[in-house]
A and B are shown apart, each in its own frame.
Chain A
Amino acid sequence: MNPTMHAYKTGWRRALIETKVTLTTPSDVIGTLFPLVIGVTVLLFLRGVDIEGAPVSLGSMSMPSLIGMFIVWGGVFGVLGTMVMDRTNGTMLRAKSMPGGMTGYLVGHLGSIAIFTAFSVMVMLVVGLVFFDGLEFASPDRWLLFLAVLVLILAATVPLGAVLGALLDNPNNMALVMLPFMGLIAISGIFYPITALPDWLQAIGQVFPTYWAGLGMRHALLPDSAVAVEIGQSWRTLTMFIVLAAWSAASMAFAPKLLSRMARRESGSTMAARREKMQQDWG
């Protein structure tokens, strides 16, 4: 078989094993579910809060937004966080020491994050449908839209995580990426309609995928009349697809170069230096 194809195939097997490993590691499952449980619990209390002009409660409206946000967060930080750790513990260097290993590692890692995120999303969807009134998921066109938005968000954010992971050499700099991302959530209309914000904040929010992920999921799961509280009273379906596809294309364009640069620089001594630096910064 063609060695490159073989590396992709082996990487896919890695994705499946990684997924199995993550799902059977209690700390990983709890680490993912815990923030979600908190988020959903908060939303449960918001079921009694009405928004003017919307047919559903704030809780029900925010549930799809939370799903959208989670895919962005899981895609970007699932990939980024593990890559940063894997450069410190030698997983990446090991991959580099085997033929086709780096390709296999990346395919496996990105694939497993995508699978695991999609799995968590399915759990959230079920929770949403059971506990939140007004969510609509009863027709094939809803399913199709939901899946299309899910795939598109993953396609936009998983490579973005890889780009950031290739750029971020020091685990201690994770916060530099995380804090702006958290700030972004506040201006992306996840927990309250974005239209409540000043125009300039709305403009910034609409540059990044988090807003569009939330919008896409609301589009997929809320009754059509909920569009009344969105910008321009429109789901802006085409714009959403274009913006997310643009993020995806941009990340995928940069990722190969940055990843091979990262791979080229990886060695036992750079890893040891990184580890030492991490210990110094912490101790």
Chain B
Amino acid sequence: MAEPQLPVGPAIAVSDLRMRYGDKDVLGGVDFTVETGSVTALLGPNGAGKTTTVEILEGFRARSGGEVSVLGADPADGDEHWRARMGIVLQEWRDNGKWRVRDLLAHFADYYRPYTDPWSADELLDMVGLTEQAGQRLMRLSGGQRRRLDVAAGIVGRPALLFLDEPTTGFDPHARREFHELIHRLTDLEGTTILLTTHDLAEAEKLAERILILAGGRIIADGSPDALARAAATTAEVKWMQDGRLQVHATDDATAFARKLLATDDGAVTDLEIHRASLEDAYLALVEQFEAGEVQAAADTFQEATR
């Protein structure tokens, strides 16, 4: 049995990552690092290059340029020991449809035995809430159950790093909530680093400690959900009642404006409200511009807004 390698440095380090298909640059110099033990969301509109980025990190795709290190190795020449330390949950896995749930997990666990002590099928089923479905065929599972099984299969080898690609696409709100709870449970497993991709800001805010926004082939924002929200809220709308009339004023410095307003109003101002532009507003504007084909403009505007 191989000795587990100790984590050295960040779980993922990417610098100047480039990807070119034909004459189209999909990734034009992506830089980021992901620290061990964190939950990071790679957020971006559909077609922004998220899947390409993650596939390069997973070692599924050769890159055009740049430096990439995942769990201390270049994914382009990651061996089976390296492979054993990561788990991958893809968007739409419909594999092994005729297999039964427990058989599949028990079989997958076998692959990891030379490298680690994998979870047992029953422990995993309990963790993802599929104990009752243990004897069912995979193709009979609902969409949400299937994705939870995919997560179980992804963590069977106790991975140091788990990739979740668009994990809740096509879910109803109930399935989505259950899935989010599962991810929260996973983050309690010691030391598992999670990188998830999503195009849903609410999901990123809910699950991740840190959000990387990818658009126009580069990372245009990077920070905790709070930090991004604060950065996005550069302009605020101040509303108040004065002399029986509603007053509205847009400002970059709401605090200073309000201080001045209250200092000079002689008590006439009532119902003071300050609305900051939310991260959601900024992100939705980005997605809209992106979908209208204004990729570069979208990226630039957003980057300005969040700096």
Contact = CB atoms under 8 A, between A and B. Distances in A.
Interface residues of A, number: 32
Contacts of B28: none
Interface string A1-25: 1110011001001100100011001
Contact of A90 (B60, B90, B98): B90
Given A13-B107, A90-B95, A267 B115 contact: no
Contacts of A100: 80, 111, 114
Contacts of B92: 90, 272
A81 to B, nearest CB: 14
B96 A13 contact: no
A90 B149 CA distance: 14
B108 interface: yes
A98 B83 contact: yes
A268 interface: yes
A2 to B, nearest CB: 8
Interface string A76-94: 0000000000100111111
Nearest to B86: A97
A98 B61 CA distance: 16
A33 to B, nearest CB: 17
Contacts of A272: 91-92
Interface stretch (B50-58, B127-135, B220-228, B274-282): B50-58
B99 interface: yes
A266 B2 CA distance: 27
A99 interface: yes
B95 A89 contact: yes
Contacts of A13: 107, 110
A267 B98 contact: no
Given A13-B107, A17-B99, A89-B97, A3 B80 contact: yes
A58 to B, nearest CB: 39
Nearest to B150: A94
Interface string B68-95: 0000000000001101100110111111
B53 to A, nearest CB: 11
Given A268-B51, A269-B51, A93 B90 contact: yes
Given A7-B111, A99-B83, A268 B103 contact: no
Interface string B18-54: 0000000000000000000000000000000001100
Nearest to B111: A98
Contact of B60 (A6, A86, A96): A96
B95 A99 contact: no
Contacts of B91: 268, 272
Contacts of B157: 98-99
Given A14-B107, A99-B80, A267-B55, A91 B95 contact: yes
B183 interface: no
Contact of B114 (A14, A25, A94, A99): A99
A13 B92 CA distance: 26
Contacts of B214: none
Contact of A3 (B58, B115, B165): B115
Interface size class of B (residues with CB under 8 A): 35 or more
Contacts of A99: 80-81, 83-84, 111-112, 114-115, 157
A1 B112 contact: no
Contacts of B110: 10, 13
A2 B1 CA distance: 8
Nearest to B110: A10
B111 A104 contact: yes
Nearest to A88: B94
Given A10-B107, A17-B107, A93-B90, A267 B60 contact: yes
A100 B111 CA distance: 6
B60 A268 contact: yes
Contacts of B111: 7, 10, 98-101, 104
A2 B153 CA distance: 23
B94 A90 contact: yes
A13 B107 CA distance: 8
Contacts of A17: 99, 103, 107
B113 interface: yes
Contacts of A97: 58, 83, 87-88
Nearest to B165: A268
Interface in A179-235: none
Interface string B136-174: 000000000000000001000100000001000000000
Interface of B: 2, 51-52, 55, 58, 60-61, 80-81, 83-84, 87-88, 90-99, 103, 107-108, 110-115, 153, 157, 165
Q: Which 10 A-B pairs have the closest CB atoms?
A: A91-B95, A267-B60, A99-B84, A99-B80, A90-B95, A3-B114, A97-B88, A90-B93, A89-B94, A98-B111
20 contacts: A6-B113, A10-B111, A13-B107, A17-B103, A21-B98, A25-B98, A89-B95, A90-B93, A94-B93, A96-B60, A97-B58, A99-B81, A99-B114, A99-B115, A100-B80, A267-B60, A268-B51, A268-B90, A269-B52, A272-B91
Given A96-B60, A266-B60, A268-B90, 8 more contacts: A6-B114, A13-B107, A91-B96, A94-B93, A97-B58, A99-B84, A268-B60, A269-B55
